Amino acid sequence: MKLICDLVINHTSDQHAWFQESRSSRDNPKRDWYIWRDARYDENGKRIPPTNWRSYFSGSAWTWDEKTQQYYMRLFAESQPDLNWENEETRKAIYDSAVKFWLDKGVDGFRIDTAGLYSKKYPLEDAKYDPSKDSPTDEFYFPENGLCKHGPRIHEFFKELNSKVFSKYDIMTVGEVGENTNHFLE
């Protein structure tokens, strides 16, 4: 029998020590391990999230942090802040604590959760309304429509993960890449 584990490395829990450090202050060394942004303000002075992206679950893809007065990105649940894969130190910590940890315990491979979401397109910008996909009842939040799926560095990140970790083990991997992969054929 072989053991394949679910590898969730797009986000952590908001209770994870890394996130607790990250949210402790704006100048904490782990602040850049997650995606934090300032608020925007509408024409009436009301605070609004950095982008109009809708979470895959519901509402905004951003959660306001009262303590540090910024939003953090969470493409899924409020309790699942997205890791910042642009930060090399973050990637190394992911490889060491999440990937190598389980491989050294003897797992035979991984089903890689949300494998197409690690690379976002910067600068982050509002999603455009797409009437073929978006409900006309949506008032503010829209699907990110490709702004955080299969971003410009996704292949680089996986090549690095393979060369620094996966290639050192006799394992199998399969990634959950989701929809909207047609641009790979262009």
- Selected catalytic residue, list 21, 65, 126, 176: 176
Q: 171: left (phi > 0), else alpha (psi -120 to 50), else beta? A: beta
113 is catalytic: yes
Using CA atoms, how far apart are residues 59 and 158, in angstroms rounded to an integer? 30
| Vertex 165: Cα angle to 162 and 171 (nearest 5) | 80
**Cβ–Cβ under 8 Å, residues 59 and 141:** yes
Using CA atoms, how far apart are residues 32 and 89, in angstroms rounded to an integer? 9
- Selected catalytic residue, list 65, 86, 113, 126: 113
**Structure tokens that stand for 119 in this block:** 């690379």
**Cβ–Cβ under 8 Å, residues 12 and 80:** yes
144 is catalytic: no
Sign of CA dihedral 117, 132, 51, 124: positive
Catalytic residues: 113, 176
